[in-house]
Structure 1
Amino acid sequence: MKQLITFLAAAIICSTATAQTDSTKKQKSDTIRIGGIIIVKNGKNKNNKEVDITMGRKNSERKKNANVSTNWWIVDLGFANYTDNTNYANTGTYLVNRPGSPALNENDFKLRAGKSVNVNIWFFMQRLKLGTPHVNLKYGVGLELNNYRYKSSVSYKEGGAVPYTAGTQTNAPFIFRDSVAFSKNKLAADYLTVPLMLNFNSNPGSKKRGISFSAGVSAGYLYGQRNKQKSDGRGKDKNRGDYDLNRFKLSYVAELGLGSVRFYGSYSPKSFYEHDLDMKPYTFGLRFSNW
């Protein structure tokens, strides 16, 4: 440490002496690197002020060499839908088409595609550099909010004395065709979700954004489900309960960045219902993110 201080003092004295003996020459910036320390001598400016010496790494260099970068509060706006592979001829064991209730079919579960929306709010996402700036591990935590708007008048109920099997009754959740025409009828399913993706970036560290692509999986936990309806006869009605949705959802996720525009999508290979209905959800839309 004493040697370093002596060296710095000598450097200052020499640079000052040089500036005093020859003031007509144009001063140039010199850089001295000692281990992890960078010393930058800026020289005299046009106002003939004292010599500035800067020690340490520049902010741009720290950012360039950072292995982890964080993006806060990302928002997705898109659409939610599902592929219906239900065999309605073999249902009736639990959720739909119980004995004594009107039979449901695929027409009862058709959606208003333009009004079935998906909104995701990511608290943060991080990129971890994997050896090269072009390849990163991307992960985060957020809320996944899905709203499925039905064309029909299906209703969800948790419990109730309805026929289940001969001579027995159950209080399990069920879906039935209601007698009321709804102007608004939707099922909402909300998840706490953690995505994990491999990210490829064509132009890292540049102000001009190139092409980026991310693909991986996400794991979601269902923390809220409700059937929200609106009609002339009943007004507004919001029913919360257990509607036989799976508590956990595993999805394939992807993201495509073209310059400053970003698209996202997800697809779950498993039905988001536990019984009877075979409906695999998917989403797609725009992502508002810095990277």
Structure 2
Amino acid sequence: MKPIIFSLILAFAASTVFAQTDTIKTRHTDGADADTIIIIKSKKGRKLKFGFGNDATQVNINTTTSDTTYTASKQPGFSMGLTFTRFDIGLTTLNDNGSFTLQPQNQFLNYRSWRSASVGFDVLQISYRFNSSFRIYTSGGFDWLTLRLRNNGTIQRDGDVLTFVPDNIQYTKNRLRASYLRVPIAFDFRTHDDADGRRFHFVGGLDMGLLLGSSFTQESKENGNQMRTGDYHFTKFRYGPFVRIGYGGIGVFAKYYVNDMFDDSPAQKGLRQFSFGMSVGW
């Protein structure tokens, strides 16, 4: 997770060093909604356009006056491209057969609620816009699940079932993690701009995920830092409904995966993941 974040920071820093960036609030001459677009001007004079939150399909530049007017067209149709949006950071909660209290066989997964996280973002998007207010889209991105365990002990990797071996070591970190490729299919409705130039978004759909990898990390005085990657029985494919509600560029999200969190481990049958938190970018 940390190398990915550092890479994104370096990429952003490089773009500011080698390019001139202008941020423009677009406006429509026909009274339609406006969008925020970033124009990056390279040293050779070429321009790259990135639309934040929505698919700004066309930019017309009028330089006949002293002020430059940028007009974004929102005609119906398909759009596709790279993006960095819907950055989610939230909490993860386990639902054990309809209860938020873990059953006895799952007590070894007792976790620190405020330190068990769900983090993700999208990097690719394909959408079809019906009109200025409604579109459907699918996207590709990454999602990380982290459980900070309370109990001292180790979850065995590559076991026949999910197995926890307790010990007397005091761990400052005892963390179970899984990473997923996330592919949502969403219905996105947005209102018209208000007096402040912002709008509400209401999004709902199906979130799907393909397992990329899992690991178990521990930190203690006795053993130092240890990270073990392998099979911890996380489900290879997860799916479930999600909703997003936002105003401007900030909102909230909630996801509930309807299939089991772990595969091939009968004692954990019915244990599912619920995540909620804040989201930036639309």
TM-score, length-scaled by structure 1: 0.64
The one-letter amino acid of 1:283's match is S
Asked if 1:139 corresponds to 2:138, the answer is yes
Query: Which residue pairs with 2:150 in the alignment?
Result: 151
Query: Which residue pairs with 1:177 in the alignment?
Result: 165
Query: Which residue pairs with 1:72 in the alignment?
Result: 83
Q: Which of 245, 270, 287 matches 2:259?
A: 270
Contact 1:134 1:204 in 2 (8 A): no
Determine the C-alpha separation between the residues in 2 that align with 1:139 and 1:105: 38
Determine the C-alpha separation between the residues in 1 that align with 2:110 and 2:98: 12
The one-letter amino acid of 2:94's match is Y
Determine the C-alpha separation between the residues in 2 that align with 1:267 and 1:68: 29
Query: Which residue pairs with 1:234 in the alignment?
Result: 223
Contact 2:214 2:232 in 1 (8 A): yes
Determine the C-alpha separation between the residues in 2 that align with 1:116 and 1:129: 36
Determine the C-alpha separation between the residues in 2 that align with 1:86 and 1:66: 42
Query: Which residue pairs with 1:84 in the alignment?
Result: 96
Look up the SS of the partner of 1:246 in the other structure. Answer: coil
Residues 140-170 of structure 1 deviation map (CA, whole Å, 9 limit, x = unaligned):
10000111111112422135xxxxxxxxxxx
| Largest Rg, 1 or 2 | 1
The one-letter amino acid of 1:82's match is L
The one-letter amino acid of 1:72's match is T
Asked if 1:116 corresponds to 2:116, the answer is yes
Contact 2:75 2:129 in 1 (8 A): no
Unmatched segments (≥5 aa) in structure 1: 1-39, 46-57, 92-103, 160-170
Look up the SS of the partner of 2:108 in the other structure. Answer: helix
Query: Which residue pairs with 1:214 in the alignment?
Result: 203
Asked if 1:260 corresponds to 2:249, the answer is yes
TM-score, length-scaled by structure 2: 0.65
Deviation at 1:120, TM superposition (A): 0.3
Count of matched residue pairs: 208
Contact 2:155 2:165 in 1 (8 A): no
Contact 1:183 1:230 in 2 (8 A): yes
Same amino acid, percent of matched pairs: 19
Look up the SS of the partner of 1:114 in the other structure. Answer: helix
